[in-house]
């Protein structure tokens, strides 16, 4: 069913900025972006963590072409040097963890090489963090963070959002959620989906050569079974990037995705502490070790157990505003391969 309050004015790219200036949707969106930025800082101050300032360019992309990568890197020629616009600065956060006591965070833009669609933007904002700890520690941090943001959204902008979308019970439920969000392993999620709809399991699980992934329909079905919010943990090792730690079974990774709204909204994982295990993972993912020489050397010279996460801010905003097209979440349009007049 079409949601009449969603403007969809991004489709008219040349006049978008003029229509946005006269749109209650975008005026509310600006307030929500500000709230997330301010309250993210407040949350981490309460956690005793600090932010770091990183460049938007990198020589070590966190989603290299290879097994487990779900995005295309964006390369630019910067004074004759091949450079990448950051898809994530997770590696820099790992570096920062070795310079601080409790961990670090940032909110900054990310760049992806794919075309935009209902679920993906070419340029979006990441709220990312890395802490000293394991997978369970970072999942607990995310639970606290999401509940904290939900409470602040209700307290500060609840009435405005209700007037826009008609209902904020989904936000209130998370704001008042008691305990940790439910968790299910990928293996158990696959079993559950087979029990519920054995004939159409290929609709929910994508089977590749040696590894599995969950489809959009699969994410939606699992969320339905867990009342809208659920962690899926321990994906197949080759379904995730090389930096996710190998679990004790040698087949799965110590990672987790938080599903809410349109699906994956937060991705997190435990990193390799052991230098040799990192080399093993690079080989399994067919990633050239030489491209990550500094990262490998850091692990060798300064071993440290860390874990981290990335939250797609626009995806969180979609959940808040009950919107099913992420292209409505951009204040300034940016689409790969298209000239935008602003």
Which residues in the chain belong to E strands, given as ranges? 50-51, 57-58, 74-78, 81-85, 103-111, 123-132, 183-185, 205-207, 212-214, 229-233, 255-260, 263-270, 306-312
Ordered by start, the domain boundaries in the chain are 9-181+268-329
Distance of alpha carbon 102 from alpha carbon 262, whole angstroms: 32
In this prediction, residue 32 carries a pLDDT of 98
pLDDT (tens digit per residue) in 83-110: 999 999 999 999 999 999 999 999 999 9
301-308: average pLDDT: 97
Task: Kindly state the greatest CA–CA separation across the chain.
Answer: 57
Is a pLDDT exceeding 90 seen at residue 309?
A: yes
Is a pLDDT exceeding 70 seen at residue 66?
A: no
Is a pLDDT exceeding 70 seen at residue 63?
A: no
Average pLDDT, the chain: 94
pLDDT (tens digit per residue) in 31-56: 999 999 999 999 999 999 999 999 99
The CATH number of the domain covering residues in 9-181+268-329: 3.30.930.10
Is a pLDDT exceeding 80 seen at residue 1?
A: no
% of the chain exceeding 70 in pLDDT: 97
The rounded Cα 134 to chain-centroid distance in angstroms is 18
Helix, strand, or coil (residue 166): coil
329 versus 64: the higher-pLDDT residue is 329
> Under a CB-based contact definition with an 8 Å cutoff, are residues 271 and 137 in contact?
no
Angle at 206 between CA 232 and CA 235, to 5 degrees: 30
% of the chain exceeding 90 in pLDDT: 88
In this prediction, residue 64 carries a pLDDT of 65
In this prediction the pTM is: 0.95
- DSSP 8-state class, residue 24: H
In this prediction, residue 224 carries a pLDDT of 97
CA distances 156 to 31, 68, 125, 149, 150, Å, are: 10, 39, 21, 10, 10
CB atoms within 10 A of CB 245: 24
CB atoms within 10 A of CB 126: 20
The rounded Cα 21 to chain-centroid distance in angstroms is 29
pLDDT (tens digit per residue) in 220-236: 999 999 999 999 999 99
CA distances 103 to 109, 110, 311, Å, are: 20, 21, 16
Is a pLDDT exceeding 50 seen at residue 335?
A: yes
70 versus 114: the higher-pLDDT residue is 114
Token pair 């450079």 is found at: 83
pLDDT (tens digit per residue) in 159-187: 999 999 999 999 999 999 999 999 999 99
Tokens standing for residue 104? 């670090």
Partners of residue 259 on adjacent β-strands: 230, 264
Cα dihedral 125/73/82/90 (nearest 10): 50
> Under a CB-based contact definition with an 8 Å cutoff, are residues 226 and 219 in contact?
no
> Under a CB-based contact definition with an 8 Å cutoff, are residues 56 and 200 in contact?
no
């Amino acid at each position: 069913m079409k949601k009449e309050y969603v403007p969809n004015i991004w489709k008219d790219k040349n006049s978008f900025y003029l229509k946005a200036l006269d749109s209650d949707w975008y005026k509310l969106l600006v307030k929500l972006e500000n709230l997330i930025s301010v309250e993210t800082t407040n949350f981490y101050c309460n956690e005793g963590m600090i932010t770091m300032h990183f460049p938007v360019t990198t020589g070590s992309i966190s989603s290299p072409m290879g097994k487990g990568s779900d995005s295309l890197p964006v390369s630019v020629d910067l004074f004759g040097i091949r450079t990448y616009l950051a898809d994530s600065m997770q590696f820099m956060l790992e570096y920062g963890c070795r310079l601080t006591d409790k961990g670090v965070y940032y909110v900054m833009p990310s760049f992806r090489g794919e075309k935009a669609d209902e679920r993906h933007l070419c340029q979006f904002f990441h709220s990312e963090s890395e802490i000293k700890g394991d997978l369970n520690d970072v999942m607990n941090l995310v639970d606290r963070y999401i509940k904290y943001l939900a409470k602040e959204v209700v307290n500060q902008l609840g009435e405005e959002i209700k007037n826009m979308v008609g209902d904020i019970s989904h936000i209130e439920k998370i704001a008042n959620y008691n305990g940790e969000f439910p968790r299910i392993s990928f293996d158990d999620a696959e079993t559950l989906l087979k029990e519920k709809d054995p004939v159409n399991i290929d609709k929910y699980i994508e089977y590749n050569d040696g590894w599995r992934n969950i489809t959009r329909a699969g994410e939606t079905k699992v969320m339905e079974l867990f009342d809208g919010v659920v962690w899926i943990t321990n994906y197949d090792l080759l379904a995730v990037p090389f930096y996710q730690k190998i679990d004790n079974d040698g087949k799965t990774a110590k990672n987790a995705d938080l599903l809410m709204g349109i699906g994956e909204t937060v991705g997190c994982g435990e990193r390799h502490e052991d230098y040799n295990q990192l080399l093993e993972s690079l080989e399994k993912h067919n990633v050239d070790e030489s491209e990550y020489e500094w990262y490998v050397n850091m692990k060798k010279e300064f071993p440290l157990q860390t874990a981290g996460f990335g939250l797609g801010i626009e995806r969180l905003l979609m959940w808040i505003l009950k919107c099913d097209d992420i292209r409505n979440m951009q204040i300034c349009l940016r689409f790969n391969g298209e000239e935008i007049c602003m």
